[in-house]
Chain A
Amino acid sequence: GAGVSQTPSNKVTEKGKYVELRCDPISGHTALYWYRQSLGQGPEFLIYFQGTGAADDSGLPNDRFFAVRPEGSVSTLKIQRTERGDSAVYLCASSSIGAYTDTQYFGPGTRLTVL
């Protein structure tokens, strides 16, 4: 596609539920990133994929968070046993090859609200 797309745009769930957030990167981009942005803050790094593998998952806050990219394109961020503190905008970005100076192109984000 023309840009990075994310679905759903908004997700409201109850505390303790499981959610999946989807990211479709720009076609041909091998690098994919997930960030979390809380209100009034800059995005915080969660995980980076190079192809199908997670090259750096040091930003995942705990083991309730997990992400996959099985075919090296679409990625899914999975959150188990959601907590109110998980409420944030989850941003996905992709870049051409993951080089240090690659431009990262961001999607519009998924706004997650945990009640």
Chain B
Amino acid sequence: KNQVEQSPQSLIILEGKNCTLQCNYTVSPFSNLRWYKQDTGRGPVSLTIMTFSENTKSNGRYTATLDADTKQSSLHITASQLSDSASYICVVSGLTGGGNKLTFGTGTQLKVEL
């Protein structure tokens, strides 16, 4: 069964600090990996998308890495802000069927405090 596992489950950091979130997946065949940010009560918002040939992708203070050989990804957040408090979800797309069927992880709940 295709799976996406994330760690840590939750994380509390002080404003201005950096943090790194981890993702391991078993989805095969692999198409691409995405990181989404989901605020409480809102739908997920896309941060990055990486195909198997891409090792890193940045979006402002967010930098995602991908190692397709070990099936691992990380999301690094630099100089955290209070507004970064949210759930960060790793999402993997496999090459199955038509379109883009996504497999979601359970997310890392990040809280940024003063």
Q: Does B81 contact A (CB under 8 A)?
A: no
Binding site for B on A (CB under 8 A): 4, 31, 33, 35, 40-45, 48, 50, 55-56, 58-59, 91, 93, 95, 98-109
Task: Please give the residue numbers on chain B whose beta carbons come within 8 Å of chain A beta carbons, in ascending order.
Answer: 4, 31-32, 41-46, 49, 51, 89, 91, 93, 95, 97-107
A-B contact count (CB 8 A): 79
* B51 x A101 contact (CB < 8 A): yes
State which of B41, B43, B89, B99 has its C-beta within 8 Å of the C-beta of A4: B43
Q: How far is the CA of A98 from the CA of B101 in the complex (A)?
A: 9
- Cα A91 to Cα B102 in complex, Å, equals 13
Residues of B within 8 A of A42 (CB): 4, 89, 91, 104-107
CB distance from B2 to the nearest CB of A (A): 10
